[in-house]
Amino acid sequence: MAGTIFGIPFDDELFLQMWNEAPDPYLTAMIESGAVVEDPTIAGMIQNSGNIYTIPFYDTLQGDDQNYDGQTDITVEEIAGGSQTGVVYGRAKGFFARNFTAELSGADPMGHIVATIAKYWQKRRQMRMIGITNAVFNITGASGYAKKWADAHTLNLGSDTANAREIRETDLNDLATQACGDHKDQFGLAIMHSNVAKTLENKQLLEFWKYTDANGIQRPMNIASVNGYTAIIDDGVPCEAVGGTGDNKDLKQYTTYLFGTGVIRTAKGRVDVPVEVNRDAKKNGGQDELITRMRETLHPNGFSFKVPTSGWTQSPTDEQLFAKANWDIKFDPKSIPMAKLITNG
C-alpha cells in the first residue's frame, strides 16, 4: 500500500518486490557452486506446517548379486532408510529514520533502503550458515557414523604449536579426498578466513572476483576462486588463539570449510507480513519505523535437528541452532560432502 516513510514515497508491495529481487552475490555464488540448493520439497512442507519438517531418505542399494543361470534363486533385500529433521527459524528486524539518514541522499532512496535491508539479511544468513556448520562439526562419538564423521571429515594441521603450519597448495584436495574419496569431485565451495585467503593469494593460488560499481569502477569482492573451488571470505569462521613460544607466541588456528553438491538445503517459510511501516509519535519526539520479518531454513543434508528439552519456542534461537547437542548425524559420512580444515594461516 502506498504511503510515506522517512519523508519519501513508500509502497510496501513495491519494496517487497525489490527486496526479493535484490542481488545477493554470496548466496548466488553458493548456489552456482552447487553446495547450496533451494529445495522445493522443503519449501512446500514449511508453508503451512510449522517450523519442524521431516524428510525421508533411502540408503544406497548394496549387497552381492546372484548368478542368473536358470537354477540359482534370486534373493531380495529390503530397502533400508530413515528420515532427517530440519527446522525453520524466524527473525525480525526494525529500523527507524536515523539508520537511513546517510543512505537517503541518492537519487533512488527506495533503492538505498532495499539495498540496506538486503545486505543486512545477507550477513545474518551467512553468520547462521557458519554457526550451524560449526555445530555439526562438533558432533563426535566413540563408534558408528559419529566417529567416522569426526575422524574422516576433519584435517587438523594447526594443532602443533611448535611447528606452525599454513595452508598449502594440496591441503584442500587432500581434505576432499580424505572425506569423500572417489566422490571428492562433489566439492565446489570453500568458506575461509581472510588470513587463510591471504596466504593462498600470496601463493598465487587464489584470485578475487571483481564487480563493476555504478561509477564504472572495478572493485574486488569477498568471493574468489581457488583450486577449482568458489571461495567465500568470511572472518566469522572459527579463529582461535592457541599461543606458543618464540615466533609462534601469537599463533592462531583458522578453520576452512569445504561444501559439496546439495549439502545445504534452503527454503523460505511463510511470512504473512514480511514488511510494514509504523509511525511512533512519542518516541524521540516522533519517528518513522520500518519492520522486516523473514522465515527460512538452512539445513545440512545428512543431519537431523533435535528439539531442545527446554527453552523451546516456535522458532529456535541462534544458541539452539548452534548447539551440537541439538544435532544428530543420519547419513554415512562418506556421502556427506562437508569437510573441515584447520591451519595456522
Walk along the chain (345 residues) and give the pLDDT tens digit of each residue: 567 777 777 788 888 898 888 889 999 999 999 999 999 999 999 987 779 999 887 777 777 888 888 888 888 776 777 889 999 999 999 887 665 655 555 567 777 788 888 999 999 999 999 999 999 999 999 899 999 999 999 999 876 655 668 999 999 999 999 999 999 999 999 999 999 999 999 999 999 998 776 677 787 889 999 999 999 999 999 999 887 666 666 788 999 999 999 999 999 999 999 998 887 777 777 777 889 999 999 999 999 999 999 999 989 999 999 999 999 999 999 999 999 999 998
User: How many DSSP H helices and E strands does the chain contain?
Assistant: 9, 19
Sign of CA dihedral 40, 46, 47, 48: positive
Residues 2-59+84-343, CATH architecture = Alpha-Beta Complex (3.90)
Give dist(CA 71, CA 332) in Å, integer.
Answer: 36
Global pTM? Answer: 0.89
Grid cell, residue 43, equals: 519449501
How far is CA 199 from each of CA 18, 174, 186, 226, 262, rounded to the nearest angstrom? 38, 17, 25, 12, 28
In three-state secondary structure terms, 339 is strand
Give dist(CA 59, CA 28) in Å, integer.
Answer: 30
**Contact present, 284 and 88 (Cβ < 8 Å):** no
How far is CA 16 from each of CA 113, 118, 325, rounded to the nearest angstrom? 11, 11, 37
Full DSSP string of 222-288: EEEEETTEEEEE-TTS-EEE---SGGGTT-EEEEEEEEETT-EEEEEPP-S-SEEEEEESSGGGSEE
How far, rounded to the nearest angstrom, does the alpha carbon of residue 187 sit from its chain's CA centroid? 15
Domain boundaries, the chain: 2-59+84-343
